[in-house]
Amino acid sequence: MTDTAKITLGDVSVDSPVLKGSVGPDVIDIRKLYAQTGAFTYDPGFTSTASCESEITYIDGDEGVLLHRGYAIGDLAEQSSFMEVCYLLLNGELPSGDELADFDNTITRHTMLHEQLATFYRGFRRDAHPMAIMCGVVGALSAFYHDSTEIHDPRQRMIASHRLIAKMPTIAAMAYKYSVGQPFVYPRNDLSYTGNFLRMTFGVPAEEYVVNPVVERALDRIFILHADHEQNASTSTVRLAGSSGANPFACIAAGIACLWGPAHGGANEAALNMLREIGRPERIPEYIARAKDKDDPFRLMGFGHRVYKNYDPRATVMQKTVREVFDALKVNDPVFEVALQLEEMALNDPYFVEKKLFPNVDFYSGVILSAIGFPTTMFTALFALARTVGWVAQWNEMISDPAQKIGRPRQLYTGPTQRAYVPVDKR
Ligand code: ACO
């Protein structure tokens, strides 16, 4: 028997079905509430609202658990590869050896961009933020790949998904190359997805670029850690944009725009800037005090999360990866020591303990990316690159869901009630 939740409003009482997921909190189905009671629910920021049904990713924020298709993020980060995780997110199961080789080959063979897109870059100022370029270029893909924009054809949807995953490193690397005034570097099919991206970013035609395997593995792991995160702001943006039937390239461009904000994907850039500003461990207490001060808008960047009220499991892997990269590249950046001590001090401070504020994935990722050589402006572009698979997997799931409707929230209107128009000479 289905459980029901009784909602009473004045004289009207309705029974709303309570839906059960495979794991996680129950969900009250209020789809008929307005028709039955004439009232809406109010939930700005969606803190208590599930916007869709999904089989892709599960998060238990209290326990610090993140599962993709049932597999723990720690296991995937340790034992899997980004290509394998892409396959898993898109198809629901881990690939066999042959399936993985086939998928890898498909992605590798979609990495080149239409040559005319190179001229598109030249329309941007050299100091354009890579995310500004990414929004523009990814949106423009729909003008170049007309044969994969029929969203009701599953095959075209999959081709668009492969194209987006494959081309994103090329697009991001070209944005970087453009900003530093170096020639674009074409993809090479004998390199891994991540090795290829490193070469397209840091390689120059004047000499052969040798991929450092430790850096390649670290970056691949960072991509895994960012691959999907259920219905976060940018993914919800992709779903909302896609709910109107917009083409996949336009939807992913919308996701990139949302990700850019400092409360979301921009946080790793903001976290590293903050750590550099703090500069040395002696200054940490001053910044902790500012973060706690209600009259100061400053927040500890890379701390806190809407869903995680425990240690973000991705931050654990990140912290370990910082050490590996620093050892491999012989980096000695005081910023890591500042990060470690700041984390320890915050985790022992009653303000952060009571509010359950823990380091999130962004707290350490900037430190690693900076050690690898990426400028801070590229951090969010890297996040977009990795999250593309999550966006397309969620978008595909939405389009194939028979219950899918255009997303259209309602509102609590508090503006003026109807009033008479007064001509300008009478005001
Ligand atoms: N530093 C200091 N105080 C904080 C912080 C922080 N980083 N984060 C939250 N708080 C406080 C808030 O002031 C608030 O206090 P109050 O209850 O006394 O008003 C309380 O903790 C709850 O914070 P909210 O903003 O209501 O929580 P919400 O779930 O809306 O926000 C968010 C989550 C946006 C991530 C927030 O913690 C934040 O701004 N963190 C810093 C930015 C950041 O690291 N973003 C990355 C998120 S992860 C990602 O996108 C991959």
Asked if residue 151 has its Cβ within 6 Å of ligand 1, the reply is no
- Determine the residue of 226, 272, 306, 380 to mutate for testing ligand 1's pocket, defined as the one with the most ligand atoms within 8 A of the Cβ atom: 306
Interhelix angle 233-243/379-399, nearest 10 degrees: 40
Cα of 263 vs centre of ligand 1, distance in Å, is 8
pLDDT digits (tens, 9 = 90+) for 408-426: 999 999 999 999 999 999 9
Provide mean pLDDT across the span 44-73.
95
Ligand 1 pocket, residue 135 CB under 6 Å: no
Place of tokens 């927040």: 299
Q: Name the active-site residue from 305, 312, 401, 425.
A: 305
Q: pTM of the predicted model, to two decimals? A: 0.92
Ligand 1 binding pocket mutation candidate from 47, 273, 308, 355 (most atoms within 8 A of CB): 355
Is residue 226 pLDDT above 80, yes or no? Answer: yes
Q: Output the pLDDT for position 426.
A: 97
pLDDT of 205 over the 60 cut: yes
- Mean pLDDT calculated for residue range 238-265: 94
Does the pLDDT of residue 2 top 80, yes or no?
Answer: no
Distance (Å) from CA 313 to ligand 1 centroid? 17
Q: pLDDT for 156-204, tens place per residue?
A: 999 999 999 999 999 999 999 999 999 999 999 999 999 999 999 999 9
Residue 207 is classified by DSSP as B
From the CA of 299, how far away is ligand 1's center (Å)?
7
Q: For residue range 68-84, what is the model confidence (pLDDT) as tens digits?
A: 999 999 999 999 999 99
Pairing of strands 12-19, 71-72: unpaired
Taking the alpha carbons at both ends of the chain, their separation in whole angstroms is 63
The yes-or-no answer on residue 305 being catalytic is yes
Residue 1's pLDDT is what? Answer: 53
Quote the pLDDT of residue 268.
85
Helix (H) or strand (E) holding 12: strand 12-19
Q: Is the pLDDT of residue 66 over 70?
A: yes
Relative to the CA of 306, which ligand 1 atom is closest?
A: 29
226 is catalytic: no
Assign 293 a pLDDT band (cuts: 50, 70, 90).
very high
Q: Which of 141-145, 297-301, 329-333, 386-390 bottoms out in mean pLDDT, i.e. has the lowest?
A: 329-333
Q: Which residue's CA lies nearest to atom 41 of ligand 1?
A: 301
Please say whether the beta carbons of 205 and 183 come within 8 A: yes
At 269 the pLDDT is: 83
Other CB atoms within a 10 A radius of the CB of residue 222 amount to: 29
Q: Is 97 helix (H, G, I), strand (E, B) or coil?
A: helix
Residue type for position 230: E
Residue (of 159, 225, 164, 235) closest to 391 by Cα position: 235
Residue 178 has a pLDDT of 95
Give the residue-averaged pLDDT of 334-361. 92
What's the CA gap between 19 and 6, in Å, rounded?
A: 14
